[in-house]
Amino acid sequence: MGTFSLEPEQVAWCAELREQARTRLAPLAEKGEPGHVNRPLVAELGQLGLLERLFTSGALDLCLMRESLARVCTEAETALALQGLGAHPVHAYGTAEQRARWLPEVGAGRAVAAFALSEPGAGSDAAALALAARPDGAGWRLTGEKCWISNAPEADFYTVFARTGPDAGARGVTAFLVPADRPGLTGSALDMLSPHPIGALAFDDVPVTAADVLGEAGGGFRVAMNTLNLFRPSVGAFAVGMAQAALDATLAHTARRDAFGGKLKDLQAVNHAVANMALRVESARLMVHAAASAYDAGADGVPRRAAMAKLLATETAQQVVDAAVQLHGARALRRGHLLEHLYREVRAPRIYEGASEVQRTIIARELYKEAPGEQ
């Protein structure tokens, strides 16, 4: 597979995904309640085999899934992605018992997963997290808070990152698999701009043992960063899908809209704007595919490439959706319009899984690391 073009089978698969999103997923998404987990939608993703594919596919396949679904049904895309983000550490680092208990349930769409990294004082600065894991016999007790956690407080289990050692920064952080019914674990929903569920979690002496550790004690930061390196390009793919949906809508609208004695598309200011939108979308798509292909190949520079892909694609999607709104006029701001929906959806990806400013910091850091000569 070349980085710069998809094989015919991949193109056909993307078309099939869009059709499934249109006929089977979008109707369930419409019945969902904003701010709550849509369990019938998650179950249908399982029925279609897409959730199991999260654990058998590479980064490029993940990007193709996310872009294809996002182009038609952002709710389905997000439900899929959150299952992957929350459960990938179990797939990649879990014990045989953890994997046997949870992965079949996630793959079938019966269990909802969540990735619990961010805290009130540690969002993009993941190394600053403060959730404390206090030694207690053969295990630990978790005390503290998590915030801005997608699928909280309705998930069935959480991949939780807590500080088990006295070291500051990335050291001394351990990843735990914490079922939602553990005593002392409570949560509350947050009313956010994005329609998918986001909440806060409170840990009041929540018991965990060595059997709940994902990977090694003290190795949790690696679990978090390796998961994000896989998912960051696919956040870019989500953004590209939304940008493409906005471009598709703009092409249709400007081709049929009468204005100034002709069609809107006949105005040079309009068709140049549309050309710029298409240029940005395709550029972002290529960088996303290149980053995902590098991850799959085990190539050098994956953190830099992943950061570049997320940064370019999310910033591009914001620009393209905004331009689409401008070309549609007031109708695009009416509640329920596709572009009104995309305008709300497109803002958050520039913040979560590392804000745009953090991606720039990662890119610069990696560039200096890779530069020849003494630093």
Just list the catalytic residues: 353
DSSP per-residue string spanning 169-181: TTTTEEEEEEETT
Structural contact between residues 324 and 250, judged by C-beta atoms closer than 8 angstroms? yes
Q: Which DSSP helix (H) or strand (E) runs through 144?
A: strand 139-150
CA dist 265 and 8 (Å) reads 31
Structural contact between residues 141 and 183, judged by C-beta atoms closer than 8 angstroms? no
Residue count of the chain, please give it. 375
77-107 in b/e burial notation, b at 16+ Cβ within 10 A? bbbbbbbbbbbbbbbebbbeebbebbbebbb
Q: Which DSSP helix (H) or strand (E) runs through 149?
A: strand 139-150
60 Cβ partners below 8 Å, 6+ apart?
1, 289, 292, 293, 296
83 Cβ partners below 8 Å, 6+ apart?
42, 45, 51, 54, 106, 109, 112, 113
Instruction: For residue 25, give the DSSP letter.
Output: I
Q: In this structure, what token pair is assigned to residue 124?
A: 């993009």
| Nearest Cα to Cα of residue 131 among 178, 189, 76 | 178
